[in-house]
Structure 1
Amino acid sequence: MRARWWAVLPVAAVVAVWGVGGYLSTSPTDRQDYRKTAVRSAQSAYNAVGTARLAGRARLDGRLPGPYVTSTLDDARAALAGAAKRFAGTAPPDEPSAALQARLHPLLTSADVALGRLERATEEGDTAATRAAVDALEPVAAGLSGFVEEHR
């Protein structure tokens, strides 16, 4: 009889751990979790914008070849898309979180538009458009940086 109880205990422990893990992975997002997700998304977007700015400037200065810049911008685009997807995948749990969403969403959209302009300009080899696109990333980076500092 005792042997049966010793055999049941490990199985019960595994089931309990599995149940707790399941609950934690599906538990609703609270305000703090949402803020953390928003800040992480903004940090990732800021890093992507910074990478694009550096690559664009280096291309303008003749320090990087076109194919390398294209690859770097593709990576920045993927990082930005991941940040936007992570942020969009979490619903705001309350009004303050919805206000946070209303503030970050336009910044992510602006980053996407500005990065797209830089990609097109570098692909076309248009120096003036590349310079304008790199300059347009500056206020986007400042906005993302400000968001991170304010909500960290």
Structure 2
Amino acid sequence: PLSREQFDRISAYARGVLARDDLFEERIRAGRIRDCHGDLYSANICLADKVYIYDCIEFNDRFRYCDVASDVAFLAMDLDFHDLSDLGAYFIERFGNQSGDQGLGAMLDFYKCYRAYVRGKIGLFTAADPAVDASVRQANLEAAARYFRLADSYASRG
């Protein structure tokens, strides 16, 4: 599901962004590191009489305190994965306008890449579980490959 070439591109991209202390220091100075959701993707959102967002990470503060751009990127990446990129772009635009987050755009591909990569790893871990049946294993392998392709596409843009 993850080729060596994809891994190398993703890894080089991530290292390059992580070396940019100025980006992260600016996010801190701008007050963009906050108590966030930590697991914001479409399965954790319910649209009814209003929008309900649930299942935030409560078991580990370190997973929840993050750059708000990470939560925004997770939902946008999830929408990309489900072929709803237009909705993801709309969400990013509206969030950026409402929040006044001037540095959001500089961080999105990095966090989208990270979140897609993590989802790919989760798919591989699930597929490797001896307790899952063959159809679940295959579905997770296919999803993992798609997530890794998505992570690679973000890395290639960055």
Normalised TM-score (structure 2): 0.34
Q: Which structure shows the bigger proportion of residues in helix conformation?
A: 1
Normalised TM-score (structure 1): 0.35
Higher relative contact order (CA 8 A, sep 6+): 1
Task: Return the index of the structure with the highest Cα Rg.
Answer: 1
